[in-house]
Amino acid sequence: MPRSLARSLPHLLPLLALACLPALPQAAPPAATGGTRCIAGIVVNTVTNEPVSRATLALLAQKDSETVATAESDTDGRFALCQLPASKFKLTASKRGFRTAFYDEHGEFSTAIVTGPGQDTSHLAFRLSPNAVLRGVVTADGGDPVEGARVNLFLVPPEHGRGPALGRAPSQRITQVDSATTDDTGAYEFSNLSAGKYLLAVMAEPWYALHQSASQTGRRAGRSSTLDVAYSTTFYDSTTEEASATPIALLPGGHEEADIALHAVPALHLVVDTPVKQDGSFARPELMQTIFGIEFPASTAAATSDPAHSVAAEFTGVAPGRYELEHGDPPRIVALDASVSRRVDPAEGAPAVSISGTLRSVTGSALPDELSVALSPIDGSSRQNQVVTTAQRGQFRFDKVLPGRWELSTSGAGQSLPVVSITSNGAPRTGNVLIVRDRSLSIAAVIAQGETRIDGHAVKDGKSASGAMVVLLPKSAEGSAGLIRRDQADSDGSFTFHDVVPGQYTVVAIEAGWELDLTQPAVVARFLPKGVAVTVTESSGKLLRLPDPVPVQAR
């Protein structure tokens, strides 16, 4: 079920399944008194399979996440929380040096513990993963340490490179999770990391660099020009090409070393001729560098001359690499593969257009006062990254969008609101894909507000299947990523899909299926025949219960 306690980093699946581990000592179930129940078990280290003592366990009410009871594991890792009513609870465990986690956690999902008649909740094995650590040293030419370098850490989600993240916005791919600054020995460290694959990108400036304008370097020679150097953004393992960056795999409790060497190269100068308006103002150009889909400012332009009709704005100390230059008014965006110093013409680049629009519900019901609206590029059709704005009372505007194919998505009030159709230039189009050309657009988007909750039960071999991944798949795959819902079966096999919009779906349950990409038709086809079909209509109401249990299928 969806996890409500937010944390800074996502968790990945433990590498060893419960069935493959040696037998664990079990906590003796304390006697229930007065008709109340106990939740008891043992906390174990996922790496060593040894008991974890002095771990703090907290039991939270499913309905409001209020703390119901707390306990501490003993020297044998055993714990017990008793005097509990028949209800549904979330169980979390934490200890210094370990990742705080919910019971049977898989990323943002976990299994709730259901107490009541016929429920065995006194023999739980709570697997807690030790923190992983990533450290290293950044050095320059000659092996000298680089102090003050910014080391950016990125997490590669399991879905990366295999289509949209299941049940999430298609734009959620690699994310930046932390950054650190090297000390006087060039060292950096990231601790408290979850298991997973990470990427590193280092940005730094040579301490001895002297950057002067093109006119100054033209007058001076020798020592000044030799010190006009820069470091290109460098990835592990010491490459300046993003596509060649080496992922670093961290296991639970793992300690990895990742040293990175920087090399100084002659700095480039980019001069941008910018027209001056009648009031004497001008649009200062911006130079950005995109690293794993995230924009970073690359350099600040200085106005070096002020003639009557234009300003020569110059970027100095630019390292060779790929950049996006925004200049002019209205803005133009230039994709630069910078390898030599150059002058940028005012007419260079693709024009960025504005997009204004309105939102309305497919049922005509009122929308939240504020909604987040995002445009995400499709298949690299645009060099631009995702752009986000806020819709106020159904009205929104994007000011700088490049031509290309984009996906429009909205969210608000704690839920995703899928876009089901877009009208542009008077022509309606089913789905959430928007084609932007070289002129401004005014669009009208229709969004589906899901109000139906679907409850179901997952079974395996005739018994309730705790921890199974359950997915609600729309019948039509095109433009339907926002309609997919996913949950994890609770200890009694129950699951819930929230905010389901009208449509035809199939519910499938898969054992250990968290790594599967169910947006791929070939993958989905294997599971659909044993799934349970369900149709949600405008008249389905607030709650729809599946009439048949959903069988758990092997991955």
Q: Is the pLDDT of residue 23 over 50?
A: no
Q: What is the pLDDT of residue 214?
A: 63
The dihedral through the CA atoms of 116, 121, 127, 128 has a sign that is: positive
pLDDT digits (tens, 9 = 90+) for 2-20: 443 333 333 333 333 333 4
Which CATH architecture describes the domain 452-553? Sandwich (2.60)
* CATH no., domain 269-351: 2.60.40
pTM: 0.77
Query: Range(s) for CATH 2.60.40.1120 in the chain?
Result: 132-265
- How many angstroms separate the CA atoms of 371 and 394, rounded? 8
Helix, strand, coil % over all residues of the chain, rounded to 5: 5, 50, 45
* Nearest C-alpha neighbor of 276 from the set 308, 229, 241, 236: 308
Identify which has the larger pLDDT, 464 or 368.
464
pLDDT digits (tens, 9 = 90+) for 441-500: 999 999 887 889 999 999 999 999 999 999 999 887 655 666 788 999 999 999 999 888
pLDDT digits (tens, 9 = 90+) for 98-111: 999 999 999 889 99
Least confident of 117-126, 270-279, 440-449, 487-496: 270-279
* Nearest C-alpha neighbor of 201 from the set 249, 260, 146: 260
* Nearest C-alpha neighbor of 92 from the set 39, 134, 139: 39
Residues 6+ positions from 488 with CB-CB distance below 8 Å: 1, 104, 106, 109, 110, 111, 467, 468, 469, 470, 495
Residues 6+ positions from 236 with CB-CB distance below 8 Å: 136, 199, 200, 245, 246, 248, 258, 260
Query: Range(s) for CATH 2.60.40.10 in the chain?
Result: 18-128, 353-447, 452-553
The residue type of 103 is: Y
Residue with the two structure tokens 């049977």:
104
Which CATH architecture describes the domain 18-128? Sandwich (2.60)
Dihedral angle over CA of 287, 291, 292, 294, nearest 10:
-50
Q: Is the pLDDT of residue 197 over 90?
A: yes
Identify which has the larger pLDDT, 467 or 538.
467
Residues 6+ positions from 497 with CB-CB distance below 8 Å: 453, 454, 456, 472, 485, 487
- 132-265: CATH topology is Immunoglobulin-like (2.60.40)
Question: Measured at the alpha carbon of residue 157, what is the angle toward residues 151 and 158, in degrees to the nearest 5?
Answer: 140
Percent of the chain with pLDDT over 70: 85
Mapping DSSP to helix (H, G, I), strand (E, B) and coil, where does residue 522 land? Answer: helix
Q: Is the pLDDT of residue 185 over 50?
A: yes
- How many angstroms separate the CA atoms of 18 and 67, rounded? 28
Identify which has the larger pLDDT, 92 or 448.
92
Within 13 Å of residue 315, how many CA atoms lie on the same side as its CB? 30
Superfamily of domain covering 353-447: Immunoglobulins (2.60.40.10)
pLDDT digits (tens, 9 = 90+) for 24-53: 444 444 434 445 689 999 999 999 999 999
Residues 6+ positions from 407 with CB-CB distance below 8 Å: 170, 171, 375, 376, 378, 432, 433, 434, 479
> Distance from CA of residue 330 to its chain's centroid?
32
Average pLDDT over residues 63-78: 95
Residues 6+ positions from 148 with CB-CB distance below 8 Å: 181, 182, 204, 205, 207
The residue type of 18 is: L
